[in-house]
A and B are shown apart, each in its own frame.
Chain A
């Protein structure tokens, strides 16, 4: 798994970027904006997870687009260009197109979340939100610790049961029962163990006095600079999205296609910043060679 060079930035910067990207994406139904967002998301996903992942993502999201287009078509809507009649209700081009756009938007959002998942890892998230919610974020960190632990224990218990009873696996019903029993044992076992964890916390003087917070990543000058640039681009793009692109209308006729087009390059630049950083780094290494 490659380390993305954008992920080296402070979690706050990374979060700002993704909040902006996903937020703006969810606010614009303008077909060009949706397209730009979708493509830039695909580029970032490709950089951080590889082409194969992009391919899978695209296939999965096509289904989302199709369903949304179909559902919207059925609403009949306020469009005037009738494509055909379905059981008496008119299916109009505008409503289908609305579905395509909103489906595309949902697909783009899903893609942004996939990138987010990859770059904004669990510990980064904790680093950022531990400030406001120290106890809850500590608990979340414990959940992270317990999940792999439980999966391991689950395998152990399964092996033990299999070795005990000779490994006959029954039908689906039997499997289901087995699964439920496994979950029971896991819960009981882990709950018991967790009391030891609680003791270990107490033994390390948890809850005795005011607690401080260890911060692993600090905002550096570079982080501030990046945050500033991102914020500037974000504001301009937001103006494009809310001020201009919203002039685009679906009903009764598609109209205002050219609205806000001049802001698209800024929007694209904002979304492509991690990709550009990656490119810059690539050139640096190429020159070294």
Chain B
């Protein structure tokens, strides 16, 4: 029996002219794991919410949805905002209390859930002591404890770092595998989950364009124009570039492991891979950038948050040259954000010196753009500092044009999408005409399209001669934009290298392409690098 049947479903928001969803046909078998993908604003969230009656939006529906599930679990994007109670224990109990279960039954269910997810050690904690990834797993656990037959997940990993996202997706797979719960998940981070999924549903502008097995979908997707194609994991994109007539669609590799098998097969058939690196457009080579002079120099910086605390940064040194895009990579808790805050002058290091070239103005884009948005509309937001920093209407207008924000200029910043919020924050920042731009995790929560736009903006800035320093753990994005990369680990800068070189000389901490092609064509870093000899 199917867990979910959607027939010719359409939905129009109250007060909106255009339908948000149109003519959707969808069946989900029991125990299936289906991925819902598509560009931002294609109606993924609307569809998921329409399936969950308690939070379904107000508007007009057509067609039919039949659900063969008594309980439906729903997990949304933000780890923090979904938490209700102040302790982990009560958070887990919250849903069970709502079901009206007896206290002893709740105890038992909670004990089971805690064991299933392995979250016993957190049980006595306050929720705000947990990391983002832990919070999201707690949300999943709290929903799973209520015994749903269908789980709806709305971009659950968008706000998480790669490690936490991986852990979360593993937990989802475990639920599917061991409990046989049907899962429908919208997601744009596909590297880890795609090979484990049963089906991919691709939506565009409220319509299902394609649905099929992951391999079929990836092969179809590979024929789409570039910004869309970017959503595919690197192995599938390499396959798409190099597959020949005779390669059937089912062989499309979806993970690094599958990719290596495919590459080995090709190698057996006397194909030799090579690294063809197109000249990085506008990029700067090593000696060039040094010649342009140093913009910022941090020398053996030590920092800790309190007298009793451990040092977060120990002997961190970094030199940034004019006009380059410099990316600092590092895992969670390596001190990236702290380092950036020091460079931006928000905090002062206890030891060491940070020297910024005379007369240079730095500005920082925070991880969460909402922290920078304080006005009631995009227009006001951009005008806010006009007096203090001496810019006028014309500059604001140009900025709205440049970031394509004119259509939303009257809206409240909180009503914008994550990508638009970030563009607004960036526009606000650029109005101050900074020479050195510091960015904290700029790709967090962005989908491929927004990332693509960000990349374009970064390249423009480079052309204008601005310097950009970015900290991130998004390796694939870093590989695409960086002129130079540094790795921050254990409070110090461990190494600094030319952008692509950096990834080519790392073993684990590198892009999928590099991991997949290791031994076949070692120096490849992005899918575009890979070619036949």
Touch between chains A and B, by CB atoms below 8 Å: yes
Kindly state whether residue A211 has any CB partner on chain B within 8 Å.
yes
Which residues of A lie under 8 Å from residue B97 when comparing CB positions? 211-214
How far apart sit A147 and B474, CA to CA, in the bound complex (Å)? 31
| Complex contact B83–A160 (CB within 8 A) | no
Kindly state whether residue B465 has any CB partner on chain A within 8 Å.
no
How far apart sit A216 and B102, CA to CA, in the bound complex (Å)? 13
Residue of B52, B102, B368, B428 near A212 (CB, 8 A) is B102
| Complex contact B372–A164 (CB within 8 A) | yes
Which residues of A lie under 8 Å from residue B517 when comparing CB positions? none
Asked whether A165 and B385 contact (CB < 8 A) given A189-B370, A193-B80, A205-B99, the answer is: yes
Kindly state whether residue A142 has any CB partner on chain B within 8 Å.
yes
Kindly state whether residue B84 has any CB partner on chain A within 8 Å.
yes
Dominant SS among interface residues on chain B: mixed
Interface string of A145-170 (1 = CB under 8 A from B): 10011001100110111111111000
Interface string of A179-208 (1 = CB under 8 A from B): 001001100110011101101111111111
| Complex contact B414–A142 (CB within 8 A) | no
Which residues of A lie under 8 Å from residue B54 when comparing CB positions? 202-203, 205, 208
Kindly state whether residue A229 has any CB partner on chain B within 8 Å.
no
Interface string of B31-58 (1 = CB under 8 A from A): 0000000000000000000001011000
Kindly state whether residue A281 has any CB partner on chain B within 8 Å.
no
**How near does chain A come to B255, taking the closest CB pair, in angstroms?**
32
**How near does chain B come to A190, taking the closest CB pair, in angstroms?**
10
Which residues of B lie under 8 Å from residue A162 when comparing CB positions? 344-346
Dominant SS among interface residues on chain A: helix
Residue of A123, A160, A207, A212 near B103 (CB, 8 A) is A212
Closest-by-CB residue of B relative to A163 is: B364
How far apart sit A98 and B363, CA to CA, in the bound complex (Å)? 63
Asked whether A141 and B90 contact (CB < 8 A) given A159-B346, A163-B344, A204-B142, the answer is: yes
Asked whether A214 and B86 contact (CB < 8 A) given A145-B128, A166-B361, A204-B98, the answer is: no
Which residues of B lie under 8 Å from residue A213 when comparing CB positions? 97, 103
Asked whether A145 and B83 contact (CB < 8 A) given A164-B363, A199-B76, the answer is: yes
Kindly state whether residue A215 has any CB partner on chain B within 8 Å.
yes
Residue of A148, A152, A193, A214 near B81 (CB, 8 A) is A193
Kindly state whether residue B242 has any CB partner on chain A within 8 Å.
no
How far apart sit A271 and B346, CA to CA, in the bound complex (Å)? 50
How far apart sit A157 and B93, CA to CA, in the bound complex (Å)? 33
Residue of A122, A181, A196, A212 near B101 (CB, 8 A) is A212
Closest-by-CB residue of A relative to B432 is: A164
**How near does chain B come to A54, taking the closest CB pair, in angstroms?**
22
**How near does chain B come to A83, taking the closest CB pair, in angstroms?**
49
Q: List 23 A-B contacts (CB under 8 A).
A: A123-B87, A138-B84, A148-B128, A153-B371, A159-B341, A160-B364, A163-B341, A163-B438, A164-B363, A164-B429, A192-B414, A193-B81, A197-B81, A200-B76, A203-B54, A203-B76, A204-B84, A204-B94, A204-B142, A208-B54, A212-B102, A212-B106, A214-B96
Q: A149-B80, A197-B82, A207-B98 are in contact. List 20 more A-B contacts (CB 8 A).
A: A141-B87, A145-B83, A153-B371, A157-B371, A159-B371, A163-B363, A193-B81, A199-B55, A199-B76, A200-B74, A200-B81, A202-B54, A202-B55, A204-B84, A206-B98, A208-B54, A208-B98, A209-B99, A209-B100, A214-B93
